[in-house]
Structure 1
Amino acid sequence: MAPNPAADLDRRIVAALMLDGRAPWRKIAAALNVPDRTVTRRGTALLESGAVGIHALADPHRTGRGDPFVVTFSCAPATVWPTCATIARRPETVTTYLLSGRAQCLADMWCPETRQADLFLHELGATTGVTQVEVAPVLRYIQTLTTWDPGILDRDEAEALRVGAPITTWPVFSEPVKLHREDKALLRGLVEDGRRTFEELGRMAGVSEQTAARRVEAMRTSGLVTLRAVVDPRVLGLPVAALLRLRIRPPAVETVAAALTASPHVRYAAMVMGEHQIVADVRLPTKDALRHLLTDAEWTEHVEAMESSLILDVLKQSEVLAASLQ
């Protein structure tokens, strides 16, 4: 395939936004050694096209939204899409995938303790089209969109863009924090558009630009709020999407988790309770590359059983509904 410099630059700009979603275009241009006007033009086009969006996500535990769960659904064949769309639209749902295989839908859901029995034992099972529900509490996130590095930028480029220390634990299972009215308004503004200026955010929250900047940076530094580049991985040259559920001997779980964290192909992974110990979303350039990952990666020697499915569609990602559902 002939080189495509424009597509390559787009991938690098998106990778830069994954490191710092609020980075000014001039900072990205300097890091990538590309003219400011070129980066501004192409970056703005990427955002306007919807190929990438920057959105905030708050720690569910510390903000009182509850604990995280990975929930898989089996559906009646004729109702798969509308059933999964219903699941995606629920306020507890953060991410929803349509899958091939035995379970046709997977959702990352957050739910407070007082609502868990009703949600998991009554409401989800009563959803039209759902025939089976499997709930796996998340013990910790191994990889998220906040920490995913697809390996597109070199080390110097990445270091020039990185802001603060990387978040290694998220969510933090500690006492909930009390957000002031102004903080909640700032968070709502960032959820809608993570690249809003501090002046815009200040107007929304009724505070000065300087106060908005200080409060937003404090929430980001503490890990209470993360900014995520919600991107179609096909833009990054990774069109093949698969969902893996791994059963691993307990002593080897952390070894496999470390290997998955280091892989540029692992976009999301969570350590969970239940029949499987790890759930992972992987993105690759070809199905042949997927075959190699599933059979040749060193970490597979620790896996006792693997259930793999293609991700056929993404209906919700980091609380952002797909265009087809809006």
Structure 2
Amino acid sequence: MTLLLDDLDRRIAAALVGNGRASWRRIATVLGEPERSVARRGARLLDEGIVRVLALPNLRGPLRVDPHALRARVRPGAMRATGEALAAREDVGRVSVLASENVVYAELFLASGEVLDFVDAGLGAIEGITGYRLDEISRYHRTASGWRPDLLTSEQYELLGNVDEHASLFATPIDLDEGTTTLFAALRQDGRATAQQLARELGVSTATVASRLEQASAAGALFIRGVVSPAVLGYPVEALLRLDPMPGELDRVAAVFAARPETRVCAVAGASVVVDLATADVAALEAAVAAAAARLPAPCPMHLDLVAAGPKRGGVRFDGDLPTHDALQMRLTT
């Protein structure tokens, strides 16, 4: 059953998706609502686990892993179990069980020497998988950290701060210095920990904390992610779109979809562009795809699948519309 939130709750949740570390005062100012009401409602969204605000390091830093897109063909009757089995893995960040065909899609992070082990031991151990396709994700044009649902205007998101999510850096090798590593350790359980709380824990000044946060974000070393089910925000129709443009048009096609508010994730995987979309209904989905398609180069074949379930989003396990844990269920250190 989908949770029912009123308009203000949805706008507060969208603000946390836009900038998970924005203060209640800033969110209230941007929304034009009383701070006390925003703080009370926002705290409830966090306390009840409807929204999780988490810190995620650039996984190509500490682990030297590469993101991959998996399409696993599954025997009918084993779809749910396969989705849960993949979601339980610490090297998997996102899982979508498709409704349009017997396929489970997953985004995972593997070192170069782990691919064959994953295929043989990982996929081979999951009963029901009959085939697969695994493509390395070479670059992101949007990650879940950069989703900006149209519950708020672009001007409101700008006022919240954290406008540029630096998506292109999410698949870029980067070295994490000691300051960033200790900062992430402090933020791992609570991405909204205040600068004062972090300063006390790390034994540094609040100015140092603010500087480290800004530098880590700008360098693509640290991502703050507001994790919530799209259905909770009023977008129950989720779809996975795969586009196959000419090789020289991959980034152009990805940029078209990355600019749209319906796009949660957009990446170049192999010779394709993969897009995760969330809309209020099927008509809105069709309209969004049609509007984007009008700006695409030809030829650009596309394949659209509706999503039946998302047992893992943003590195967090989900049961229906609610996260099941407070923290990331992913391997984050060696």
**Structure-1 separation of matches of 2:110 and 2:12:** 35
Q: 1:28-177, aligned counterparts within 5 Å?
A: 28-163=27-162, 165-174=164-173, 176-177=174-175
Offset of 1:301 from its aligned partner? Answer: 6.0
1:264 aligns with 2:278: no
Is contact 1:57–1:318 with CA below 8 Å preserved after alignment? Answer: no
1:288 aligns with 2:283: yes
Q: Deviations over 1:202-236 (max 9, x none)?
A: 566x5346355544443223220010111111232
SS of residue in 1 equivalent to 2:170:
coil
Offset of 1:23 from its aligned partner? Answer: 1.0
1:234 aligns with 2:231: yes
Offset of 1:298 from its aligned partner? Answer: 0.9
Name 1:223's counterpart in structure 2: 220
Name 1:313's counterpart in structure 2: 309
Offset of 1:13 from its aligned partner? Answer: 1.4
Offset of 1:108 from its aligned partner? Answer: 0.6
Greater Cα shift, 238-247 or 113-122: 113-122
Percent identity of equivalent pairs: 30
Q: What 5-or-longer segments of structure 2 have no aligned partner?
A: 326-334
Letter in 1 for 2:32: N
Q: Deviations over 1:271-297 (max 9, x none)?
A: 1115xx111111111111223334454
SS of residue in 1 equivalent to 2:168:
coil
Q: Deviations over 1:75-120 (max 9, x none)?
A: 2223221222111111110111111233421111011112222223
User: TM-score by structure 1 length?
Assistant: 0.87
**Structure-2 separation of matches of 1:139 and 1:313:** 26
**Structure-1 separation of matches of 2:10 and 2:299:** 33
Name 1:249's counterpart in structure 2: 246
Tell me the matched-pair count: 317
Is contact 2:100–2:307 with CA below 8 Å preserved after alignment? Answer: no
Is contact 1:99–1:105 with CA below 8 Å preserved after alignment? Answer: yes
SS of residue in 2 equivalent to 1:308:
strand
Offset of 1:145 from its aligned partner? Answer: 1.7
Residue 193 of structure 2, aligned match among 193, 196, 220: 196
**Structure-2 separation of matches of 1:13 and 1:263:** 20
Change (3 A) 1:222 1:300: closer
Change (3 A) 1:156 1:87: closer
Offset of 1:12 from its aligned partner? Answer: 1.9
Offset of 1:258 from its aligned partner? Answer: 1.7
User: TM-score by structure 2 length?
Assistant: 0.85
Q: Deviations over 1:143-183 (max 9, x none)?
A: 11222222222343222211375525222523x41543x74
Name 2:329's counterpart in structure 1: none
Greater Cα shift, 160-169 or 241-250: 160-169
**Structure-2 separation of matches of 1:165 and 1:93:** 25
